[in-house]
């Protein structure tokens, strides 16, 4: 197992007492999988991602990558956020090189490595451009290239397409499928968008809210992922099952 999360619980102390954000989370991910965790606000998605990234630690339980306990961030995990976090005064090339520069990679090597991943995301001709000259989708591709440039074993994505318009988002979905298939990198992505999760992933963990728990693990078995797959009856079945699950849990939370 590449990533293993065992009996993870996360609590926060508040003035009103203990807030349980994640409860009894158990997740296993094989190398090369594209996994989505989907859930509404309050399901602890971002908190879960922070545990895997090593940006926060569990109250109880543990996260392991290749058998080693995660206690801090590391170069084996690349992060992509909803907001692009690009430095506006740096060119696309310089932004892509930034993580490598922090790691002390020599100038020539980091230039070659960054250039390679800019070609992977089809942005070579924009290497000298500033972020303000790019569209939203292009900025996110730069952020992905920057994360990939350090050659992580796993890409962690925090609702990376949530700020994009629908047409750009669909284009980025197809781009991510192509990128994943070409690089075979392990991807763990959180989203509240059920259709996005079904389109992208080969497995989905559906999270309930207050506290965040794994309500269902769903294996997604679809033919070639192109925009036309969204008209496929099986796609609709997966989507509707997840929507019904989230809707029923939301009603339970309100009733409680």
The residues, ordered by sequence, that sit 6+ positions from 233 with a Cβ below 8 Å of its Cβ are none
Q: Does domain 3-76+152-255 have CATH number 3.40.50.300?
A: yes
E strand or H helix that includes residue 137:
helix 136-149
Q: pLDDT, tens digit, for every residue of 154-172?
A: 999 999 998 888 888 888 9
* Per-residue pLDDT, 255: 44
Give per-residue pLDDT as tens, 231-253: 899 999 999 999 998 877 655 54
Query: Bridge partners of 34?
Result: 187
Rounded (10°) CA dihedral 41, 27, 149, 56: 60
Q: Average pLDDT in the 175-200 region?
A: 94
Model confidence pLDDT, tens digit, residues 93-148: 999 999 999 889 999 999 999 999 999 999 999 999 999 999 999 999 999 999 99
> How many angstroms separate the CA atoms of 146 and 121, rounded?
10
b/e per residue, 137-164, with b = 16+ CB within 10 A? Answer: bbbbbbbbbbbbbbebbbbbbbbbbeeb
Instruction: Give the residue among 58, 61, 41 at the shortest CA–CA distance from 208.
Output: 41
Confidence of residue 88 (pLDDT cuts 50, 70, 90): very high
Long-range CB pairs of 66-72, under 8 A, 24+ apart, other chains included? 66/2, 66/153, 67/4
This prediction's pTM = 0.92
């Amino acid at each position: 197992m590449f990533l293993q999360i065992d009996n993870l619980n996360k609590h926060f102390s508040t003035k009103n007492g203990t807030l349980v954000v994640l409860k009894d989370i158990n997740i296993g991910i094989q190398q090369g999988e594209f996994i989505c965790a989907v859930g509404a606000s309050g399901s602890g998605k971002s908190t879960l991602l922070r545990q895997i990234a090593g940006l926060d630690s569990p109250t109880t339980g543990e996260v392991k990558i290749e058998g080693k306990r995660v206690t801090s961030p590391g170069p084996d995990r690349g992060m992509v956020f909803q907001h692009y976090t690009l430095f506006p005064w740096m060119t696309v090339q310089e932004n892509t090189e930034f993580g490598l520069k922090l790691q002390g990679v020599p100038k020539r090597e980091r230039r070659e490595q960054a250039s390679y991943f800019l070609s992977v995301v089809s942005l070579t001709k924009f290497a000298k451009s500033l972020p303000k000259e790019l569209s939203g989708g292009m900025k996110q591709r730069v952020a992905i290239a920057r994360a990939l440039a350090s050659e992580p074993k796993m890409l962690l994505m925090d609702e990376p397409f949530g700020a994009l318009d629908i047409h750009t988002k669909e284009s980025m979905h197809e781009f991510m499928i192509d990128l994943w298939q070409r690089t075979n990198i392990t991807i763990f992505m959180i989203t509240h968008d059920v259709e996005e999760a079904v389109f992208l992933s080969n497995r989905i963990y559906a999270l309930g809210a207050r506290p965040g728990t794994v309500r269902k693990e769903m294996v997604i078995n679809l033919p070639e992922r192109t925009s036309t797959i969204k008209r496929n009856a099986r796609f609709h079945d997966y989507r509707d099952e997840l929507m019904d699950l989230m809707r029923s849990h939301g009603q339970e939370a309100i009733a409680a």
